[in-house]
Amino acid sequence: MTFRADSPLVTRTHTAINCEPRCGDIKPTLLILHYTGMSSAEKAIDWLARAESKVSCHYVVDEFGSITQLVPEHQRAWHAGVSFWRGETDINSHSIGIEIQNPGHEHGYPDFSDAQMRGVISLCQDIIARHDIAPDGVLAHSDVAPERKIDPGEKFNWALLAREGVGLWMPPDPVSDEDHGLELGACDMRVAHAQAMLSAFGYRAPQTGVLDVMTSKVIRAFQLHFRPERADGRLDLSTQATLQRVVQASARNIVA
């Protein structure tokens, strides 16, 4: 089966088997960014197109910024897996998924190239314009699946994307070497407040007042996206202040 590319930026199409209609003809409101975790874009594209992979995505951006489309945007690709955002668990029906070529943390985790970032930004701008996706709807795979995923990781330049009109970004509060943050098991009002803010922003965060394993993973996901200098899952003052500003900025965006 062949299809026509949705974006004029697409270099080629390569049909993936694993896709289906979006549930209830839902329109995408989220844009989820991943890394491939494979040694090359060609290997990733080949794998994502196979039925036995049980995964797929809408787009792959290679290290040179070239864009391959595998699934039409009106179709539901299988990229998010078990995931959650703002009460929704069928993230695949609500999103468009972009895989960015990078072998990932298990294989050296190289920097994303300038050409690649330009390709990602251009594609995101095009998708956002056509689907009216809000800034706080541009997310990392780790945001919607913090217990399982850490991609695209701390080297991905979210600040650069935001400067180009893609996604939400607030400059993080400086990290203090003397502030090691609250560790696992901490029971503190600061934890309860952070859990409430994380939940308000969209994460599936426990509301226990205890810094348990799941809360730490959600904090790490937030840090990977918004405070990547130190993504350790601990609740320090920098994380708290940055989280407060991000939630406030998101709320203003929703009201607007």
Catalytic residue among 63, 99, 154, 229: 99
Please give, one letter per residue, the 3-state secondary structure of the chain.
CCCCCCCCCCCEECCCCCEEECHHHCCCCEEEEEECCCCCHHHHHHHHHCHHHCCCCCEEECCCCCEEECCCCCEEECCCCCCCECCECCHHHHEEEEEECCCCHHHCCCCCCHHHHHHHHHHHHHHHHHHCCCHHHEEEHHHHCCCCCCCCCCCCCHHHHHHCCCCCCCCCCCCCCCCCCECCCCECHHHHHHHHHHHHHCCCCCCCCECCHHHHHHHHHHHHHHCCCCCCCCECHHHHHHHHHHHHHHHHHHHC
**Catalytic residue flag (residue 99):** yes
Residues annotated as catalytic are 99
